[in-house]
């Protein structure tokens, strides 16, 4: 044990955190494959390697680390893997920026190499933050989705799902970002309120209102409501599209709202999802007027090559010239945009790859999973309930997992590789056999690549060791921790893929964390300037303070507003706890700990009871992932119960070298050891530092606290004891007495026969008497308080005389004042609230002060 005079006076988090980070070994957190212990496998979210670990990640990882450390202490064989979800557009864009190129300037392979290089650098930086924050990651289970050993499994899963009919290719309308030049999934469309204009124009004699006149070239029909009298004459007829002159049918559909605009709408391929419905339902033709880059096609005739926006302006101008434009109105509209770049999406009909969505299967698995908090399951149910389109998984990009198929150059037959040949890039290799359809030997490799969610939605299969040969022994995982913003993507896709590939749910439980909002209550964003980066908190207050903030900021699942005050409070708790530690260590050093003695003193038994209750509360909260409740209970016990009440109560005994000092030391040791172990998941550095002064072994190798102590009487009596001490100490303070000044005689009247072994006497420096009878007190009036704001206005110059007269009243009259009083010969009314008698109490002929604490009467006869 370090001598207590060598303990630093203040807690230097920077020094402590750096020191322990250098000493801890990665191996201590490895998952053991052949362990006898129950397993606890975590399907950690693989973050996108942007180079910086943001505060939302930090919150998410704090939650994971709290329960990973807790489960280890509970005897579980924990796997806390760390993945990196590498592929995707943001990295491509960054590479283009950094190298001042576009993806078309270099070969696909060279472009991928640049993306990989940037990603690896970013991963290196983010690993450092993960380590600094003391996350107990199992680095032997790290995975990088762009590495061949990972994307081989993505490709394997693709082939398996293709074979079982879950995956198919088809020409179908999809959401398309013309800036990113790729299809995107329905889940990647972010809706935004935008204001636009509704344009009314003449459509072959029918008035039509549209927000997208540039789609006129893509018009394939005009729809009206079947009951709309205005358009009965058009039934079964054709209309000529203005400007472009092709003819389109008039269709009748119940969905048309006769009160919107003119009640007649044009159907284009495709303005929105409704157009897609109508197009299918009425079996309409397809006119592609906008291409993948958002430019007008040859179908748009003179507008060919313009952007959609340019075309809109040009068409509206032409309509004005031709006197076709009747009026324009402002309109607020919900517009779907690309979630990455915010460009409004187009719906384009393209040959794409799709995953079939079977809502019942997904819901069934979702219901077998335990959701924390429970209401998050509703979000999944709602999302599944509104699925209309299959999941589009092909992307027209480069830095992604290649789709491992070829097409026969001659007959177009789809050719797939042998599973043993994975991973592969079909644009770089050829099948090793001839086309089964026509025997030809020339193939075109698929250039489309997979949606990044196709990689990350098998994370749980990857970490549990899935290789296609069967269901892994450690599948399903025990838990998936993730944010509520990706329930409809990552959680949804993972469930879908697990069911498709294994027939089972992916995890037993899912734990949802909220989002971190800026100090102003808004989502953090560059434009608002409200971004807080973890590194700033780490350098100012350290990892443990940041981790405490994560735990106490909000209930699990709720959004959490960042607040520096919470970080400061966390740091203050460490300072307070460090003072407690120094005091306790000093006492234990003097005495040593005798674990064989019997604890008998009331204060000691009371503390052990409170500790036992705290352990139960914290354990239950940890089991339910309620980190805020757990850490608050630990803080309250350490600060209020142990430091402010217990230590104050037994200080006298500890200084007095009383025979019962050993008992207090044993209690201090038990409480200290328990606090260190309960704090270990939350503040790993601080807990390790405190624990190291008492023990050789790391606190992180200790079992969770199971301490129990049942003594209801000690709890009841100890609560009274500590409350009285607190009140009397307050009385001393309010009376201007030093806390250690002699107080005199304190008598406590309670029917309980409390034996406090002199603790109260010593801590109050008073002669304390416990009595089970009732107090006999005489009340005497000692003073009268006058209310000058009543007396002054009522009596003016006679005020003094009024007060004299009141002072002449008997104590009984003061308690029940007469209606009038004689003032210099005249009876005058006594106004209400003119005065208040002040009392003193006498006990056995001596004047005493009286306190009532939790229904117990305490008298204090102060020493002369
Ligand atoms: Zn985009
Ligand atoms: Zn062929």
Task: Tell me the per-residue pLDDT of 425-439, one tens digit each, with 9 for 90 and over.
Answer: 999 999 999 999 999
Q: Residue 753's pLDDT is what?
A: 87
**Largest distance between two CA atoms of the chain:** 134
* Least distant ligand from the CA of 443: 2
Question: How much is the mean pLDDT over the chain?
Answer: 93
Average pLDDT over residues 574-588: 94
Could you give the count of Cα atoms lying within 13 Å of 842 in the half-sphere of its Cβ? Answer: 8
Q: Residue 316's pLDDT is what?
A: 95
- Residue entry with tokens 């076709």: 324
* Least distant ligand from the CA of 293: 1
What is the β-pairing status of strands 507-513 and 325-338? unpaired
Residue 172 pLDDT more than 60? yes
Average pLDDT over residues 197-225: 94
CA of 299 to the centre of ligand 1 (A): 25
Question: What are the backbone angles phi and psi of residue 144, rounded to the nearest 5°?
Answer: -130, 115
CA of 186 to the centre of ligand 1 (A): 13
Q: Residue 278's pLDDT is what?
A: 93
* Least distant ligand from the CA of 413: 2
Residue 1 pLDDT more than 80? no
CA of 414 to the centre of ligand 2 (A): 8
CA of 335 to the centre of ligand 1 (A): 14
E-assigned strand segments in 515-640: 516-517, 560-561
How many CB atoms are closer than 10 A to CB 165? 9
Q: Residue 659's pLDDT is what?
A: 66
For residues 474 and 365, the answer to whether their CB atoms sit within 8 Å is no
The more confidently predicted of residues 494 and 803 is 494
Q: Peptide bond preceding 242: is omega within 30 degrees of 0, i.e. cis?
A: no
The more confidently predicted of residues 807 and 120 is 120
Residue 504 pLDDT more than 80? yes
**525: confidence class by pLDDT, cuts 50, 70, 90:** confident
CA of 407 to the centre of ligand 2 (A): 8
Residue 452 pLDDT more than 60? yes
* Least distant ligand from the CA of 344: 1
Residue 24 pLDDT more than 90? yes
CA distances to 323, 344, 395, 438 from 184, in Å: 39, 12, 7, 34
CA of 344 to the centre of ligand 1 (A): 8
Average pLDDT over residues 831-840: 87
The closest of 382, 369, 634 to 512, measured between CA atoms, is 369
For residues 491 and 461, the answer to whether their CB atoms sit within 8 Å is no
For residues 781 and 837, the answer to whether their CB atoms sit within 8 Å is yes
Name the token pair of 770.
């416990």
What is the β-pairing status of strands 846-853 and 856-862? antiparallel
In angstroms, the CA 316 to CA 320 distance is 6
Strand pairing partners for 780? 840
Question: Positive or negative CA dihedral for 23, 29, 33, 39?
Answer: positive
Task: Give the angle 473-477-482 at the CA atoms, nearest 5°.
Answer: 160
The closest of 130, 141, 137 to 28, measured between CA atoms, is 137
Average pLDDT over residues 603-629: 98
* Least distant ligand from the CA of 408: 2
In angstroms, the CA 133 to CA 538 distance is 8
CA distances to 32, 59, 466, 554, 835 from 498, in Å: 24, 27, 11, 32, 80
CA of 172 to the centre of ligand 2 (A): 24
CA of 431 to the centre of ligand 2 (A): 12
- The pTM of the full predicted model, rounded to 2 decimals, is 0.87
Residue 864 pLDDT more than 70? no
Q: Residue 863's pLDDT is what?
A: 80
In angstroms, the CA 170 to CA 240 distance is 31
Alpha-carbon torsion angle 697, 700, 701, 702, nearest 10: 90
Query: Which residues make Cβ contacts (< 8 Å) with residue 419, sequence separation at least 6?
Result: 156, 159, 468
**736: confidence class by pLDDT, cuts 50, 70, 90:** very high
Gap between the terminal Cα atoms of the chain: 47
The closest of 199, 243, 251, 201 to 224, measured between CA atoms, is 251
Percent of the chain with pLDDT over 90: 78
In angstroms, the CA 714 to CA 457 distance is 55
CA of 187 to the centre of ligand 1 (A): 13
For residues 494 and 460, the answer to whether their CB atoms sit within 8 Å is yes
Residue 183 pLDDT more than 70? yes
CA of 93 to the centre of ligand 1 (A): 11
* Least distant ligand from the CA of 434: 2
Q: Residue 680's pLDDT is what?
A: 98
- Residue entry with tokens 């993306």: 115
In angstroms, the CA 675 to CA 611 distance is 9
Q: What is the distance of C-alpha 318 from the center of its chain?
A: 53
Query: Which residues make Cβ contacts (< 8 Å) with residue 652, sequence separation at least 6?
Result: 758, 759, 761, 762, 763
Percent of the chain with pLDDT over 70: 99
DSSP label at residue 133: T
Strand pairing partners for 785? 836
DSSP label at residue 401: P
Name the token pair of 733.
């303070």
DSSP label at residue 193: E
- How is 333-387 classified by DSSP, letter by letter? EEEEEETTT-PBPEEEEEEEEEE---HHHHHHHHHTSEEESTTHHHHHHHHHHT-
Q: Residue 2's pLDDT is what?
A: 62
In angstroms, the CA 501 to CA 355 distance is 12
Question: What are the backbone angles phi and psi of residue 579, rounded to the nearest 5°?
Answer: -65, -40
CA of 398 to the centre of ligand 1 (A): 15
CA of 169 to the centre of ligand 2 (A): 18
Query: Which residues make Cβ contacts (< 8 Å) with residue 675, sequence separation at least 6?
Result: 577, 634, 637, 638, 642, 690
Name the token pair of 182.
């790729």
Per DSSP, helices labelled H in 600-701 are 602-623, 627-636, 648-656, 661-679, 684-692
Residue 4 pLDDT more than 90? no
Q: Residue 260's pLDDT is what?
A: 84
* Least distant ligand from the CA of 337: 1
């Amino acid at each position: 044990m370090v001598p207590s005079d060598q303990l630093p006076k203040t807690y230097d988090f920077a020094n402590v955190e750096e020191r322990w980070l250098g000493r801890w070994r990665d191996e201590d957190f490895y998952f053991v494959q052949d362990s006898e212990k129950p397993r606890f496998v975590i399907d950690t979210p693989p973050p996108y390697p942007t180079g910086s670990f943001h505060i939302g990640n930090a919150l998410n990882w704090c939650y994971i680390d709290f329960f990973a450390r807790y489960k280890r202490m509970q005897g579980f064989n924990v796997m806390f893997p760390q993945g990196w979800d590498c592929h995707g557009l943001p990295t491509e864009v960054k590479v283009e920026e950094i190298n001042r190129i576009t993806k078309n300037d270099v070969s696909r392979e060279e472009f991928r190499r640049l993306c990989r290089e940037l990603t690896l650098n970013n991963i290196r930086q983010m690993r450092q933050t993960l380590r600094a924050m003391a996350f107990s990651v199992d680095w032997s289970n790290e995975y990088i989705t762009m590495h061949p050993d990972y994307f081989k499994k993505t490709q394997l899963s693709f082939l398996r799902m293709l074979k079982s009919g879950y995956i198919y290719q088809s020409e179908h309308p999809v959401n398309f970002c013309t800036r990113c030049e790729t299809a995107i999934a329905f889940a990647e469309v972010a809706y935004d309120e935008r204001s636009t204009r509704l344009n009314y124009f003449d459509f072959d004699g029918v008035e039509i209102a549209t927000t997208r006149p540039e789609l006129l070239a893509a018009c394939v029909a005009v729809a009206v409501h079947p009951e709309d009298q205005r358009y009965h004459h058009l039934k079964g007829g054709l209309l000529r599209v203005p400007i472009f002159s092709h003819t389109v049918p008039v269709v009748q559909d119940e969905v048309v709202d006769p009160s919107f605009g003119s009640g007649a709408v044009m159907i284009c391929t495709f303005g929105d999802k409704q157009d897609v419905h109508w197009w299918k339902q009425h079996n309409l033709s397809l006119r592609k007027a906008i291409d993948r880059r958002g430019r007008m096609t040859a179908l748009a005739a003179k507008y060919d090559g313009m952007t959609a926006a340019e075309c809109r302006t040009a068409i509206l101008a032409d309509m004005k010239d031709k006197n076709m434009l009747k009026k324009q109105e402002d309109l607020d509209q919900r517009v779907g945009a690309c979630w990455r770049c915010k460009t409004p999406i187009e719906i384009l009909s393209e040959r794409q790859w799709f995953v079939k969505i079977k809502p019942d299967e997904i819901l069934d698995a979702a219901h077998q999973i335990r959701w924390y908090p429970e209401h998050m399951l509703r979000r999944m149910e709602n999302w599944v309930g509104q699925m209309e389109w299959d999941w589009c998984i092909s992307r027209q990009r480069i830095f992604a997992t290649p789709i491992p198929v070829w097409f026969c150059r001659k007959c177009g037959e789809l050719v797939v590789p042998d599973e043993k040949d994975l991973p592969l890039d079909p644009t770089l290799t050829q099948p090793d056999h001839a086309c089964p359809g026509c025997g030809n030997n020339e193939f075109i490799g698929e250039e489309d690549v997979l949606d990044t969610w196709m990689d990350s939605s098998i994370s749980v299969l990857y970490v549990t060791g899935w290789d296609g040969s069967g269901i892994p022994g450690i599948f399903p995982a025990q838990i998936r921790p993730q944010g509520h913003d990706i329930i409809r993507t990552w959680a949804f896709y993972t469930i879908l893929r697990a069911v498709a590939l294994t027939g089972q749910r992916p995890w037993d439980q899912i734990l949802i964390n909220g989002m971190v909002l800026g100090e102003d209550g808004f989502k953090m964003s560059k434009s608002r300037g409200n971004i807080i980066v973890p590194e700033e908190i780490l350098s100012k207050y350290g990892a443990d303070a940041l981790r405490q903030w994560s735990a106490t900021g909000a209930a699990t699942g709720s959004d959490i507003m960042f607040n520096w005050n919470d970080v400061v409070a966390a740091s203050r708790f460490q300072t307070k706890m460090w003072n407690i530690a120094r005091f306790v260590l000093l006492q234990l050093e003097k005495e040593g700990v005798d674990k064989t003695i019997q604890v008998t003193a009331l204060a000691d038994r009371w503390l052990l009871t409170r500790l036992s209750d705290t352990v139960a509360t914290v354990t239950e909260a940890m089991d339910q992932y309620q980190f805020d409740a757990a850490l608050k209970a630990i803080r309250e016990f350490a600060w209020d119960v142990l430091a402010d009440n217990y230590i104050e109560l037994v200080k006298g005994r500890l200084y007095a070298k009383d025979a019962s000092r050993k008992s207090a030391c044993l209690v201090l040791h038990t409480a200290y050891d328990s606090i260190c172990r309960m704090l270990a998941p939350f503040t790993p550095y601080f807990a390790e530092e405190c624990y190291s002064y008492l023990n050789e072994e790391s606190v992180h190798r200790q079992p969770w606290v199971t301490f129990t102590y049942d003594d209801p009487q000690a709890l009841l009596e100890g609560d009274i004891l500590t409350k009285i001490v607190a009140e009397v100490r307050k009385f001393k303070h309010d009376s201007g007495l030093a806390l250690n000044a002699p107080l005199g005689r304190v008598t406590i009247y309670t029917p309980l026969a409390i034996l406090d072994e002199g603790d109260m006497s010593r801590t109050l420096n008073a002669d304390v008497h416990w009595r089970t009878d009732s107090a006999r007190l005489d009340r005497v009036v000692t003073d009268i308080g006058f209310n000058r704001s009543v007396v002054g206005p009522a009596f003016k110059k006679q005020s003094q005389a009024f007060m004299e007269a009141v002072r002449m009243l008997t104590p009984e009259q003061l308690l029940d004042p007469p209606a009038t009083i004689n003032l210099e010969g005249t009876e005058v009314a006594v106004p209400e609230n003119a005065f208040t008698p002040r009392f003193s109490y006498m006990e056995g002929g001596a004047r005493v002060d009286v306190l009532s604490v939790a229904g117990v009467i305490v008298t204090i006869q102060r020493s002369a």
